[in-house]
Amino acid sequence: MVSPPASLSTDEKVIEGGAVVAVLLPLPLDQPYSYLLPEDLSAMPGTFVEVPLGKRRLPGVIWKRQDQADIARDRLKSVLRVHDVPPMPDVQRRFITWVAGYTLAPLGGVLRMALSVPAALDPPRPHQVLVRSDQPVSDDLRLTPARQRVIELAEQGFAHPPGVMAREAGVSSSVVKGLQEAGLLQAVSQRPRRSFAVPEGARPGPTLSAGQASVAEALCGKVREDAFSVTLLDGVTGSGKTEVYFEAVASALQQGRQVLVLQPEIALSSQWIERFERRFGVQPAEWHSDLTPAQRRTTWRAVAEGEASVLVGARSSLFLPFRDLGLIVVDEEHDPAYKQEDGVIYQARDMAVVRGQLGQFPVILASATPSLESVLNVQAGKYQLEELPARHGGASLPEVSVLDLRKDRPERLPSGGQSWLAPSLRKAITETLEQGEQALLFLNRRGYAPLTLCRTCGHRIECPDCTAWLVEHRKWGQLQCHHCGYRAPLPRACPSCDETDSLVACGPGVERLDEEVRLLFPEARHLLLSSDTLPGPAAAQDLMRQIQQREVDLIVGTQIVAKGHHFPWLTLVGVVDADLGLGGGDLRAGERTYQLLQQVAGRAGRAERPGRVLLQSYIPEHPVLQALQSGDRDAFLAHEAETRERGFLPPFSRMAALVISAPDAEQADAASRAMARAAPQAEGLEVLGPAPAPLAVLRGRHRRRFLVKARRDLPLQRLLAEWRDRVSLHGSVRLAIDVDPYSFL
Ligand code: ADP
Ligand code: ZN
């Protein structure tokens, strides 16, 4: 009998060989399949196994023992092998089931997120290293200086793979090989070393202010309680939220638990990682899309084995198989990047709370601009509140003013071209630069211009596959679709009327703004920061460092500059189009704009020098802009809550979006009519639609949308699932269900 992996040794739930087991596969299936566990294997619920499916061999997880198999025993296929990795903990299986039930995604589709690195299921192969053998150096061996160096190295106890041995000794690999053949060096296999060092939870952090210390103590108390709780850590940018939640991380580490810190955009959080390293002496494990396959494999396994004690990651890290998770911190909890919009559609912040509840441990949500949902949960007594009202070290908050573009009109540029900067903003930039300080111009729009129009016939250049204008990227000489990635060279003549030199760029993107400030402020050192002009996270990090070290004066950037960075010399932030984002059918448009602009504003004056923020707007009376100017966040949130309550909008109701898509418009319409006929009816339930989605065509597929609003006490998921199951849709038609939608396109 094959002995079970050590991690399975003695457990009451052991499933002996010969039993029938239900194995969940990482495929879009709702149910596990039955397999026979061969006599010579034993397992337990959660064991990772390999099973046959048709001609394939797939990884899967034993979901449970199957007492009544749906097929005759002799027709069952057998489990091929049991992987040598700790089984998926019960709590994670319950989490996967919960997420599938809530999002209406197939159970196996959710498992796929947890099984994203099948290669990690097998232990890494031990690698071969060379050590000094017992054989004495015989007289017939000519001991050249090169050989001698290698032998000395080996005799000092160094064990290296051959290549490294040669490099360390400064000799060629044939020298090492010769010694091995002569029997003086011997190959032995060595288990790979730990990949993640243990963070030093007991290392002291900075001396906290009295306010910070009391918040830190409250958070550490939650960790010691070892029970489920959610705490909203609400503090202005620079108030020390990170410093304070590090204390909670330290507490969890001292209790030997694992910690997950979720970040919205992990690739840009190198500053965070450096800070973590300063505080805890080692780097945390990371999880995001930029990892190499080898890194993914080591990290997944280290999380499963409990070796990685702190992991910082993007939303998908929630599905890693933590062996003993004891704390989750959701940093920037309001950030829309926590919503996953394709595949399994879920909100990672909300699912983190669910994970904490299932695992009975505390969850900390940190933000300077908390989401309305979280604020209302505090008011309802479901979440606790800890506040850090002041910037650390007494740095003042920037002064915010709104510039009315109707009065403070941008003048023409000396070249006669259009300008996007109001005279008072230009003046403020001049003053800032004269004082040797930095200015940031923020515009959340990539590229040169959002629209290219023909002056002769009025034609607007659109994406061939989407209901969207193409955005000019002058840097690449291209027009691009920001929805599907379509790219084409910028044409010389209008594609509609063939007139040459008639196409004009309308509206500004960051490239165009950058062009303007280079013209107006030629002596300044310029920097343009936009995700599409950065080759990767390393480049982003380098540019952030240039700003910090004052190697540039005038920065033009999209929202990638908004996040968490600390720029001591930045004292002026100009928001070029504060109205951008306030329109459209997004129920959170106001809230999001407030959060984003507040966050950008927070870049100004973080050190000794006070900052100021100028917001350019055509609608200065808008409540969002008024709230930013007065700094009265609570009044804004109260107003926002009232508006949503009146409109029966989330979180006062529950919402789901159903998007039907098909290769042609007729199919999409037919399918949406069929769906409409089968729509659920219930007291407290509203079904709006079908209507063409605002992005009526996306990647060539025609889209129709239903919006469902339901009273919070209705069983929304059941109603939706029954609705879906009542209609059988044509094979080419797709239905995407988005529970708690954040995107309304
Ligand atoms: P937040 O996360 O709220 O934006 P941080 O934790 O990043 O705030 O703190 C802002 C800056 O102030 C950081 O550079 C941080 O190291 C520093 N800081 C905060 N609290 C302290 C403290 N008690 N002692 C020393 N430096 C601190
Ligand atoms: Zn497109």
**Among the ranges given (157-171, 351-365, 496-510, 647-661), the one the predictor scored with the smallest mean pLDDT:** 157-171
Answer yes or no: is pLDDT of 113 > 70.
yes
pLDDT, position 426: 97
pLDDT, tens digit, 9 for 90 and up, residues 403-435: 999 999 999 988 888 999 999 999 999 999 999
pLDDT, position 2: 38
How far does the centroid of ligand 2 lie from the alpha carbon of residue 489, in Å? Answer: 15
How far does the centroid of ligand 2 lie from the alpha carbon of residue 468, in Å? Answer: 7
Answer yes or no: is pLDDT of 1 > 50.
no
Residue with the smallest CA separation from ligand 1 atom 15 is 240
How far does the centroid of ligand 2 lie from the alpha carbon of residue 363, in Å? Answer: 39
Q: Ligand 1 pocket by C-beta < 6 Å: which residues? A: 206-209, 212, 235, 237-243, 392, 566
Amino acid at 460: R
pLDDT, tens digit, 9 for 90 and up, residues 635-652: 999 999 999 999 999 999
Answer yes or no: is pLDDT of 236 > 90.
no
pLDDT, position 187: 86
Give the separation between CA 466 and CA 471, rounded to whole angstroms.
13
pLDDT, position 390: 82
Q: Which ligand is nearest to the CA of 389?
A: 1
Answer yes or no: is pLDDT of 138 > 80.
no
Nearest atom, ligand 1, residue 212 CA: 23
Q: Using DSSP bridges, classify how beta strands 185-190 and 127-132 pair: parallel, antiparallel or unpaired.
A: antiparallel
Nearest atom, ligand 1, residue 243 CA: 6
| Mean confidence (pLDDT) of the chain | 92
Residue with the smallest CA separation from ligand 1 atom 23 is 208
pLDDT, position 8: 41
Nearest atom, ligand 1, residue 388 CA: 3
Give the separation between CA 644 and CA 628, rounded to whole angstroms.
20
How far does the centroid of ligand 1 lie from the alpha carbon of residue 238, in Å? Answer: 6
How far does the centroid of ligand 1 lie from the alpha carbon of residue 456, in Å? Answer: 56
pLDDT, tens digit, 9 for 90 and up, residues 73-84: 888 999 999 999
Give the mean pLDDT of 289-309.
94
Strands (E), 242-398: 258-262, 285-287, 310-313, 325-331, 339-340, 346-347, 362-367, 384-388
pLDDT, position 606: 63
pLDDT, position 168: 86
Q: Using DSSP bridges, classify how beta strands 438-442 and 570-575 pair: parallel, antiparallel or unpaired.
A: parallel
How far does the centroid of ligand 1 lie from the alpha carbon of residue 561, in Å? Answer: 18
Ligand 1 mutation pick, 208, 392, 598, max ligand atoms within 8 A of CB: 392
Give the mean pLDDT of 89-111.
97
Amino acid at 117: V
Burial of 258 (0-12, 13-18, 19+ CB in 10 A): buried
pLDDT category at 71 given cuts 50, 70, 90 is confident
Residue with the smallest CA separation from ligand 1 atom 6 is 240
pLDDT, tens digit, 9 for 90 and up, residues 262-288: 999 765 577 889 899 999 999 999 999
More confident residue, 637 or 158: 637
pLDDT category at 536 given cuts 50, 70, 90 is confident
Residue with the smallest CA separation from ligand 1 atom 11 is 238
pLDDT category at 545 given cuts 50, 70, 90 is confident
How far does the centroid of ligand 2 lie from the alpha carbon of residue 614, in Å? Answer: 34
Answer yes or no: is pLDDT of 220 > 50.
yes
Give the mean pLDDT of 357-375.
97
Q: Which residues surround ligand 2, an ion (CB under 5 A)?
A: 463, 465-466, 481, 483-484, 486
Residue with the smallest CA separation from ligand 1 atom 20 is 240
Answer yes or no: is pLDDT of 115 > 50.
yes
The tokens describing 16, both together, are 């002996």
- Residue 700's contacts (CB-CB under 8 Å, 6 or more residues apart) are 465, 663
Give the separation between CA 563 and CA 602, rounded to whole angstroms.
9
Give the mean pLDDT of 676-689.
96
Nearest atom, ligand 1, residue 242 CA: 6
Residue with the smallest CA separation from ligand 1 atom 9 is 240
Answer yes or no: is pLDDT of 739 > 60.
yes
Distances (CA, A) of 398 to 442, 470, 548, 555, 645: 15, 36, 18, 18, 32
The DSSP result for 236-276, as a single string, is -TTSSHHHHHHHHHHHHHHTT-EEEEE-SSGGG-HHHHHHH
The residue written with tokens 């350019």 in the block is: 616
Answer yes or no: is pLDDT of 490 > 80.
yes
pLDDT category at 520 given cuts 50, 70, 90 is very high
Coil, strand or helix at 441: strand
How far does the centroid of ligand 1 lie from the alpha carbon of residue 458, in Å? Answer: 53
Answer yes or no: is pLDDT of 608 > 80.
no
Beta bridge partners of 49: 60, 82
Strands (E), 606-717: 612-617, 654-662, 685-698, 701-710
Amino acid at 192: P
- Under a CB-based contact definition with an 8 Å cutoff, are residues 501 and 437 in contact? no
Residue positions counted in the chain: 745
Distances (CA, A) of 582 to 285, 357, 540, 592, 625: 38, 35, 28, 9, 10
How far does the centroid of ligand 1 lie from the alpha carbon of residue 326, in Å? Answer: 24
Give the separation between CA 3 and CA 439, rounded to whole angstroms.
66
- Residue 261's contacts (CB-CB under 8 Å, 6 or more residues apart) are 249, 284, 310, 311, 312, 313, 328, 329, 331
Beta bridge partners of 709: 655, 686
Q: Which ligand is nearest to the CA of 208?
A: 1
Answer yes or no: is pLDDT of 59 > 80.
yes
- Residue 650's contacts (CB-CB under 8 Å, 6 or more residues apart) are 373, 587, 644, 740
Nearest atom, ligand 1, residue 208 CA: 23
Residue with the smallest CA separation from ligand 1 atom 18 is 240
Answer yes or no: is pLDDT of 4 > 70.
no
Residue with the smallest CA separation from ligand 1 atom 10 is 238
Amino acid at 686: E
Ligand 1 mutation pick, 219, 243, 276, max ligand atoms within 8 A of CB: 243
Nearest atom, ligand 1, residue 275 CA: 16
Radius of gyration of the chain (CA): 30
Give the mean pLDDT of 678-685.
96
How far from each other are the two terminal CA atoms of the chain, in whole angstroms? 57
| H or E element, residue 735 | strand 734-739
Nearest atom, ligand 1, residue 207 CA: 23
Q: Which ligand is nearest to the CA of 487?
A: 2
Percent share of the chain, pLDDT over 70: 97
Residue with the smallest CA separation from ligand 1 atom 17 is 240
How many C-beta atoms lie closer than 10 Å to residue 456's C-beta? Answer: 15
pLDDT category at 607 given cuts 50, 70, 90 is low
563 φ/ψ angles, rounded to the nearest 5 degrees? -85, 120
How far does the centroid of ligand 1 lie from the alpha carbon of residue 632, in Å? Answer: 23
How far does the centroid of ligand 2 lie from the alpha carbon of residue 472, in Å? Answer: 13
Nearest atom, ligand 1, residue 564 CA: 4
Q: How many angstroms from the chain centroid is the CA of residue 482?
A: 19
How far does the centroid of ligand 1 lie from the alpha carbon of residue 270, in Å? Answer: 16
The tokens describing 169, both together, are 């000794």
Answer yes or no: is pLDDT of 701 > 50.
yes
How far does the centroid of ligand 1 lie from the alpha carbon of residue 346, in Å? Answer: 31
pLDDT category at 303 given cuts 50, 70, 90 is very high
* 3-state secondary structure string across 24-89: ECCCCCCCCEEEECCCCCCECCCCEEEEEECCEEEEEEEEEECCCCCCCHHHCCECCEECCCCCCC
